[in-house]
Chain A
Amino acid sequence: MVGITSIGAYIPRYRLSLEEIGKMWQTRGGPGEKAVAGYDEDAITMAVAASLDCMKRAGNQADVLYLASTTAPYKEKQCAALVASAIDLSKTTHTADFTNTLRAGTAAMKAAIDAVKGGSAENALVVASDCRMGAPKGRFEQLLGDGAAAVMIGEKEPVAIIEGAHSIFSDFTDLWRTEKDKFIQSGEGRFIEEAGYMPTMTEAVTELMAKYSFTPKDFAKAVFYAADNRNHSGLVKALGFDKNQVQDSLFWKIGNTGTAAAMIMLVAALEEASPGDRILFAGYGDGVDVFIFRVTENISRIKGTPLMKDRLAGTVSIDYGKYLLWRDLIPVEASSLPERAEPSLATRWRERKTVRALYGAKCRKCGTPQIHPIGQRARVCVVCQAKDDFDDYKFSDKTGKLFTYAIDQLQPTKNPPGLNGVIDFDGGGRLICELTDYDLASVATGMAVEMTFRKLSQGKGIVNYFWKAKPI
């Protein structure tokens, strides 16, 4: 039976409170906060983190990767391929970007389900990730948060099987961005709700239930996308669901995460689900994709792994100034420090295994894992001088310890001071690299770290991704 075989999510640790936004603009901020991607994160890096979370639980590789996002950094150049190389999928993996609509996440899920059903894929990984921005001082600035979620679609021991699906499209102009828009444009609030969201969602969900002869009572959980909490509770009421049946939108905690929003809710719902539970799941945007999932005994596999509440723990509040800086919303004085070298496309291509999935080499003669600090490939072993006698060795999935470090005021970071360190990997190998998502007060030699795929502080024209260490 085709279904969801694994789930994963990533929510950045940083929070901007609506109160802080309100303070900036002398308006009522209200309760709640939004998740804000770190200065070195974007839709790609969050997609990598969510995908790795999902694959770790799946215990197998994907042969399809669909990336859903409206905020992928490239207009031209496939971002799914970038994510696939960072998470080290094999080159025969079919990759595709789903974009331009908030329904991209569920559209990708539909395509993944069809691919598995049709037999062209065994394990289709769908990852949705977004970092949408509302203009400063506007309603969307308060509403939108950053995050990512991933689901693996397959037939082997699914945690939830798919019982039904239904889609409608609707050429309705509620939210848009053209080539020139950095920020979300929107139609008038009540218009897009009353003429768009409410009737379209109601229609699709009602049709689905009719198609499969279900009523709201048949569902343990309903997982709906909505623009905000008002829409969310309005829809629940209109469809006749009980409040207790409805999955928390998490909007107060992380904001509306765009294409990822419904999938993050689905991940949270599945993590709390019991075998036999039926879940209604609907994504919205230029139409609706709605699915029925039935939870299986395999859901026990998910228990004991980090849950949504764990991912939402350990948050760090930032102030509005930092938000402006991190999102490039304010010009700042240029550094007087010498510029870092421009990334070379040719060098990056040659060393792509290192740059993308953090591959080094393991000497076949002396067994030493090694990775070069500037990404050069291993030709002669740094320990025994054996020449060209190596196996590839992946470091991105290894944990390590911080051997020594420098708290570096000169690091070109938007979250100063920078932290650089010498990482000794468990199992061997050493890398000098940047750290991220650290609490300076608890940085110490011997601190345990893992690797995380991030944007580096520099890079002209291209977005320059590499791995950093982060405290576990």
Chain B
Amino acid sequence: MESIKDKVAIVGMGCTRFGERWDMGVEDLLVEAAYEAFQDAGIEPKDIQAAWLGTVFSGISAMTLAPLGLQYIPITRVENMCATGSEALRGAAYAVAAGVCDIALAIGVEKLKDSGQTGVKGPAIVGDNPDGSSAIGSGYSAPASFAYLGTRYFSHYNIDRDEGKRMLAEIAVKNHHNGSLNPKAHFHNTLTVEQVVKAPIVAWPLGLFDCCGVSDGAAAAIVVRADMAKNFRSDPIYIKGMAISAGARQGSMRQDYDYVHIDENVRASQQVYAQAGVKNPRKEISCAEVHDCFTAHELIVYEDLGFSRRGGAREDIFGGTFTLKGELPINTDGGLKCFGHPLGASGLRMMYEMYLQLQGKAGPRQVKNPRLAMTHNLGGNAGAGIGCCVIVGNEK
């Protein structure tokens, strides 16, 4: 089995401003993200040979991409819950690596705010059947499914409620600080630990500011054969590894699952490290975008991805390890928490930031001399997830 390492490069990316985009429909978001990517890569829409479109709720089939007016090329709609954007990139990259096309578009979009509802519907993970029907009609909110991690982490490591809340709050404070430096982020406000801790509870132990934004947005990438990359730009980004690990609800059904880690995250990261040849992620990864849909998840992701030792996330959080100025900056663009979370776009939005970082174009958020950058998504939740990791680098 061959690794995808250094077979595919990203030569152009685009990302809309995320937020409550009352002014934009799915078509506007798609066009804005795609054309920014086309322009960035210096290509025309007609140069695209195949496209992968990721969306969870905002479309169906290839027809969702019709607003781009691509002319009779193969288009595949993909969906893998919150890992959907990364899944679109994976499809495009694999096709290029397979040699069946040379220039492919990966694009993800989500238009959540036209529903008139607050929050995100969660079929197939919280009590519904994949077809949207329900045998039981039981269920729980997305925040609740991640609150389980917080509750158990506090209990497992004997962390008292106040300290636990402050630990989570530090994550939100960090991500909002980073997002405040980013004009495309959904939110631009900074937060204090005090504000986060005192915010109304959504699903204990998660308060309002422990939860990410429900946003509209789109992001896109142009992927090409690595050996062609320099024809497009001098600073392409190379894919070093891509991995998805889909659970089979083991954690939801087996008592040996501890709710202080997520196997799907761990396995995806182990695969991607093996592909990229990363032995010590804390030292070798320059910066990462991880799936901070809820602060309690970012907490355990530090450990799942090997950035912190097991049980060591607390000291790293309070030690500032993952801040912009820290040893391993995480969610430099604000993360899902502050940049926003249009489900199908998020994986590509993460890649957009890592692309900018590796090119040295992240402005006030720029980390020093990055070499390898990583994105991480979790579709689903603790106990029933789809972990996804991608590593990219600026050297071949």
Contacts and interface: CB of A to CB of B under 8 A. Distances in A.
Interface of A: 336-344, 346-348, 350-351, 354-355, 368, 370-376, 382-383, 403-411, 417-418, 420-422, 424, 428-430, 432-434, 445-446, 456, 458-459, 464, 466
B43 interface: no
23 contacts: A337-B118, A341-B123, A344-B135, A347-B133, A347-B135, A351-B136, A354-B135, A373-B253, A373-B384, A374-B124, A404-B155, A404-B259, A406-B140, A406-B144, A410-B119, A410-B203, A422-B148, A429-B253, A429-B255, A445-B151, A445-B152, A446-B155, A456-B136
A408 B120 contact: no
Nearest to B117: A338
A348 B202 contact: no
A404 B145 CA distance: 10
B135 A351 contact: yes
Contact of B134 (A337, A342, A368): A342
Interface stretch (B244-252, B284-292, B299-307): B244-252
Contacts of A374: 124, 127-129, 134-136
Contact of B137 (A382, A417, A456): A456
B368 interface: no
B201 interface: yes
Contacts, number: 168
B383 interface: yes
B30 interface: no
Contact of A371 (B133, B147, B253, B259): B253
Interface in B109-153: 115-121, 123-124, 127-129, 132-141, 143-145, 147-149, 151-152
A408 B140 contact: yes
Contacts of B259: 403-404, 422
Given A340-B128, A341-B128, A411 B140 contact: yes
Contact of A434 (B138, B147, B248): B138
Contacts of A432: 140, 252, 383
Nearest to A424: B255
The 6 A-B pairs at the shortest CB distance, nearest first, are namely A406-B147, A344-B133, A375-B135, A407-B204, A406-B144, A410-B141
Contacts of A350: 135
Interface of B: 115-121, 123-124, 127-129, 132-141, 143-145, 147-149, 151-152, 155, 200-204, 206, 248-250, 252-255, 257, 259, 383-384
A433 B127 CA distance: 9
A266 B97 CA distance: 78
A421 B384 CA distance: 15
A37 B29 CA distance: 50
Given A445-B151, A445-B152, A406 B137 contact: no
A388 B136 CA distance: 22
A430 B148 CA distance: 14
B136 A466 contact: yes
A368 B149 CA distance: 24
Contact of A430 (B121, B139, B252): B252
Contacts of A445: 151-152, 155
Contacts of B203: 406-410, 420
Contacts of B249: 372-373, 382
Interface centre among A373, A421, A432 (most CB of B within 10 A): A432
A410 B116 CA distance: 16
Contact of B201 (A343, A370, A409, A466): A409
Nearest to A457: B137
A343 B252 contact: no
Contacts of A375: 135-136
B54 to A, nearest CB: 20
A410 B138 contact: no
A66 to B, nearest CB: 28
A341 B133 contact: yes
Contact of A458 (B137, B141, B151): B137
Contacts of A407: 147, 201, 203-204
Nearest to A374: B127
Given A374-B127, A405-B147, 6 more contacts: A336-B117, A337-B119, A374-B136, A404-B259, A406-B206, A417-B201
A339 B133 CA distance: 12
Nearest to A404: B152
A433 B149 CA distance: 15
A416 to B, nearest CB: 11
B135 A430 contact: no
B137 A459 contact: yes
Contacts of B149: 404
A432 B253 CA distance: 8
